[in-house]
Amino acid sequence: MSLHALANATVLTPEGLRERHAVVLDGGRIDAVVPIADLPSGIAFDDLGGDTLVPGFIDVQVNGGGGVLFNDAPTVEAIEAIATAHRRFGTTGLLPTLISDDLDVVQRGIAAVDDAIAAGIPGVLGIHIEGPFLNRQRKGIHHASKIRLLDEDGLALVTSRTKGRTLVTLAPECTTPHMIAQLVEHGVIVAAGHTDGTYAEIREALDHGLSGFTHLFNAMSQLGSREPGAVGAALEDPAAWCGIILDGRHVSAVSLKLALRCKPADRFMLVTDAMPSVGSAEKSFMLQGRPVTVVDGVCVNEDGTLAGSDLDMAQAVRNAQALLGVDLATAVAMASVNPAAFLGLDGRQGRIAKGMSADLVQLDSSGAVARSWIAGR
């Protein structure tokens, strides 16, 4: 396939921002990152007009988008609609996410993600099964009637996928370290969330393969003077990954700034926890029989409980800079290379470098998405 270039951009490379550079594409891969003056003679190129080119965003927690909720429609068509809606905001890779539901819905969701990947739906990296193996005491918006213990049937189901990555969010205190180890042995990525676990319980889970925390601070036991809880375990462990919902409402910016002082920024991931309202003009929807409305940019049910978010990844990146005071490179890393590494995909996605997938986002001077590319298209 002939080479093609995206030229006249400030390119965010692993070494930093490079002005007046070009990214040379060879099909779906990056062939080179070079100064404009070093472009091969005669190569076709798109002029990006001095905009900034960054790695495509990877979102590991996407409940819905474009008016579609994955739980309501665990189908290939729904996945494509959700991925299309989020691509407008720079998300070039995502995990469609199921919140707690009956196991037959989980089974249909897993099958749909497998089929979507087989069909080549752009941007689908696997599935996030957030529940039903949670703690009712920290259920949040999850329906209590759907929550259950992780047994052998559940284990067999969530390890049944054949394509892509599987992320399971569970409450460690509601299962056993042995069960967590079995999930990890089957290639499942395990995160703690909707948990009331003690520090000791979370620590033991980490020792048995737990590697992440779903929406840090939200729906989990907090850091206390005598009991560090799940938050304390997350911040103490230097290797654990932490997803954060940076909409300015789920978590105080002060709390997140303190978290960033506890461990390196490269262990934090921006997630949206997005609901159907993202990428849709309709700002109300039904969630398992309960009405949810976007109020002042936040999704809430009738009693004011947070129900996911109306956040997109481009806004999350801008919020990271505005609320946390990090630079563009750090904010983008939280949305690209960090989640890629969490998913074990950092060898092929998340960075603008030779040999990497050409998953790219063009940001204008305001930080809004002008264009995106998945595998060079």
Q: Domain map of the chain by residue range? A: 3-54+354-373, 57-342
3-54+354-373, what's its fold?
Urease, subunit C; domain 1 (2.30.40)
In the prediction, which pLDDT does 297 show? 86
Query: Binding site membership for substrate: which residues?
Result: 141, 218-219, 226, 250, 306-308
Tens of pLDDT along the chain (377 residues) come to 589 999 999 999 999 999 999 999 999 999 999 999 999 888 999 999 999 999 999 999 999 999 999 999 999 999 999 999 999 999 999 999 999 999 999 999 999 999 999 999 999 999 999 999 999 999 999 999 999 999 999 999 999 978 999 999 999 999 999 999 999 999 999 999 999 999 999 999 999 999 999 999 999 999 999 999 999 999 999 999 999 999 999 999 999 999 999 999 999 999 999 999 999 999 999 999 999 999 988 999 999 999 999 999 999 999 999 999 999 999 999 999 999 999 999 999 999 999 999 999 999 999 999 999 999 99
Q: Which two tokens stand for residue 260?
A: 């960033």
Query: Binding site membership: which residues?
Result: 130, 141, 194, 215, 218-219, 226, 250, 306-308
The span from the CA of 297 to the CA of 248, in Å, is 10
Q: Which CATH architecture has domain 57-342?
A: Alpha-Beta Barrel (3.20)
Query: Binding site membership for Zn(2+): which residues?
Result: 130, 194, 215
Q: How many residues does the chain have?
A: 377
What is the reported pTM?
Answer: 0.97
Of residues 105, 141, 143, the one with CA closest to residue 245: 141
Cβ-Cβ contacts under 8 Å for 158 (sequence gap 6 or more): 106, 110, 129, 166, 168, 183, 188
Tens of pLDDT, residues 165-206: 999 999 999 999 999 999 999 999 999 999 999 999 999 999
- Partnered with residue 10 across adjacent β-strands are 52
Q: Tokens 């559940």 appear where?
A: 154
Instruction: Provide the annotated active-site residues.
Output: 273
Give strand ranges (E) for 63-174.
Answer: 64-65, 68-69, 91-99, 126-130, 165-170
Tens of pLDDT, residues 134-150: 999 999 999 999 999 99
